[in-house]
Structure 1
Amino acid sequence: MKYKQLALSVAVLTALSGCQTSSDTSDKPEKTNHLSQGVYEVEYGSAQALAAQSKTLSQVMSFYCASNTDIEAVKQTWHETMVRWMALQGQERGPEEALAQSWNIQFWPDKKNTTGRKMSALIRQDQSATQEDIAQQSVTVQGLGSIEWLLYDKGSDLIDNAQTCSTATSITTNIELNTASIAQAWSTNPWVELDEKRWESEYIALLSNQLEYSMKKMSRPLANFGKPRPYFSESWRSETSMQNLKANVEAMQALYFANGQGLDALLREKGKAELADRIANQFAMTVETWPAEQSLFSMLQTKPGYQYAYSQYNKLEQLKYLIHEEVAIELGVIIGFNATDGD
């Protein structure tokens, strides 16, 4: 019964957030005649969706802490927020104000369980942390990974400790503010000054950077054959790594098509329909066959599981070859080094 009450409240809060968003006359993407308009509108929509979902997460966490109801709906809302974040994760192109928030939204890779150590220390403090306190803390306790720790880690006392719950609401409020900043940064098109050649280079780099980041999320835990590092998996505590990756691929697929104004249309205009078909088919096959309900953490515990996970990685490798190599050559674009591993 308690879960139903909280789930109903989540639905109401989401509906209210949607109403507030739609009634805001400024909540529309900038209209330009630039070649990037289709891609920009996809990015704008992703940023708005993330901000709205983060607001819902903040509200749901506050409601949970006030009512002490079932926590499953909070977990679901957190996961939906992570999925929204996947659309922007790993990008190195766009408004500087938006890119500057990336580490605040999610600290990954977490090579030394820094999140676990910092969060354990945070909840042992004499009093709960305010949003202002959180904003001054390490990025490891500011973002979505810290909420995952509170919801799933055995070291968390979120369910039993009102002070920890208060800190959790401060963290979700901080996420809400930071994602609102991202949405605001995307209120104007950052690419309108680019000529055709520079835009094509920027666009391919945008897709390549995000794809390479997604691949890093698999290659790190896959590591060397026979010696996987499952704790390097993103969202290993909630075992939602593969769901996140599917959302990554779907986001890149949306950017590729960009509502008929993206790379697919560009390639066809240049007489490269065969290449466009191969990329479109690779995206479709990858999404359709992706084992989203399985846990990468669990898969890496066995040899067959490892091999199956690696076969998924190969799908991303093929996408990288098509975009990073074939498209770049056809368009005469040089793709530079991408520093995605946080070293």
Structure 2
Amino acid sequence: MRHLALLALIAATPASAGVPEALDEVILPGFAGFAEAATALSVAASADCTPESLRAPWNAAFDAWTQIGDIRIGPSETGALGVAFWPDVRGFTPRTLGNLIKTEAEVGTDPAAYAEVSIAGRGLFALERMFYDADFSGYEADSYSCTLVQTMTAELAAQAGALDAGWEGFSKVLLSAGEEGNTLYLSEGEAMDVLYTQALSGLEFSDVARLGNPLGSFERPRPTRAEAWRSERSLRNVLLTADASVALAHAVGGMPLPVTDAALDRLHELAERVSDPSFQDIEDPSARLRVEIVQQQVNAIGEAIKGELGAALGLTAGFNSQDGD
């Protein structure tokens, strides 16, 4: 029965085609799914805090996040930062965690208080350090680090729940675009444009950051700047976020997108040729080339969406909050 009241509002609201579908088919189920997965991770941590026990539910939570993590409007514009603080080129996350563990800070035992900790010490990437980084993952079940992990997972579940609830409210703003009193979206077309922008933004972020950061330059590749490389999720995140972008494009457009679908299928085919899913072998020219080809195909999906969806509906991509990363 979840979202029943909102679905009734969708049916009764004369919103532009695509906005209700994007909310009902992609965005709202995505945030609800992430909240469910984050809660499951927290419950698992309360029973067994060790990395070996929590890697599977952590990966499930990360998978759920990829479905909506690149949407950065409404409550997600700032709320996503505490869930996924990355890139961390200055190493704030290990320093924050290291200081907490060294001092056995009391804040690490209280999920409510932990919400005030720097975003570098919170969310999925901080937990990746605790589960996969040898400098942090060797803790015992009765240690401060164990309690810290339980606190971190509980706080992540709280963040996920807050985002889910926030989107329940913000969805009404999107649905009422152009109506009197809506000062954020002055026309139905503006709501469509912003959702179209979100469909493209994940692909752009994958191009520039998820793939561009580790590729660096031919003379100076930077494999340890790959997203979630310790857990070997780097390639998986590229694929899942591409899937999510195309799903949102379909929901926004409500029309066949055969070129886009073919480009996505081709991305998955090319990804099978990548020899290391964490991109740690890209100093080898052959391995680098395979990742560069994946990057080119991510761009091809974006161009297909622009050509099939943007051109057909007259949509215009605007600024997204990840442009500065």
Q: What TM-score comes out, normalization by structure 1 length? A: 0.80
Q: CA deviation at 1:158?
A: 4.9
The aligned counterpart of 1:257 is: 250
Between the aligned partners of 1:137 and 1:281, the Cα distance in structure 2 is: 44
Offset at residue 198 of structure 1 (A): 2.4
For 1:1-343, list aligned pairs within 5 A: 25-28=1-4, 30-31=6-7, 32-33=10-11, 34=15, 35=17, 36-41=19-24, 42-65=26-49, 71-93=51-73, 96-128=74-106, 129=108, 130-160=110-140, 162-188=143-169, 189=171, 190-194=173-177, 195-215=187-207, 216-258=209-251, 262-265=252-255, 276-291=257-272, 294-324=276-306, 327-340=309-322, 342-343=324-325
Query: How far apart are the structure 1 equivalents of 2:60 and 2:295?
Result: 23
Is the 8 Å Cα contact of residues 241 and 295 (structure 1) preserved in structure 2? Answer: yes
Deviates more, 1:178-187 or 1:219-228: 219-228
Say what the alpha-carbon RMSD is for the aligned residues.
Answer: 2.3
| Alignment partners' CA distance in 2, 1:142 and 1:171 | 6
Q: Post-superposition shift, 1:325? A: 5.5
The one-character-per-residue Cα deviations of 1:72-99 (angstroms, maximum 9, x if unpaired) are: 3311111111111111122223xx2233
Deviations 1:189-221 (A, max 9, x none): 241122443233122212112221222211111
Alpha-carbon separation, structure 2, partners of 1:59 and 1:51: 12
Aligned-partner residue type, residue 71 of structure 2: Q
- Counterpart amino acid of residue 171 in structure 1: M
The 2-side partners of 1:244 and 1:157 are apart by 22
Conserved? CA contact 1:44–1:183, under 8 Å: yes
Equivalent-residue separation in structure 2 for 1:293 and 1:84 (angstroms): 25
Question: Per-residue deviation at 1:341?
Answer: 5.3
- Work out the CA distance in 2 between the residues paired with 1:249 and 1:91: 12
SS in 1 for 2:144: helix
Q: Distance in 2 between matches of 1:200 and 1:290?
A: 31
Q: 2:197, 2:319 within 8 Å by CA — same for their partners in 1?
A: no
CA distance in 2, matches of 1:78, 1:92: 22
- Contact kept, 8 Å, 2:211 with 2:295, in 1: the verdict is yes
Q: Structure 1 regions of 5+ residues with no counterpart?
A: 1-24, 269-275
Alpha-carbon contact 1:50-1:84 (below 8 Å) kept? yes
Cα distance change of structure 1 residues 304 and 319 upon mapping to structure 2, 3 Å threshold: same
Question: Does structure 1 conserve the Cα–Cα contact (< 8 Å) formed by 2:194 and 2:318?
Answer: no
Residue pair 1:296, 1:309 contacting (<8 A) in 2 also: no
Q: Is the 8 A contact 1:222 1:229 kept in 2?
A: yes
> 1:1-42 CA distances to partner (integer Å, 9 max, x unpaired)?
xxxxxxxxxxxxxxxxxxxxxxxx444471214321111011
Equivalent residue letter for 1:162: S
Report the CA distance between 1:60 and its aligned residue: 0.9
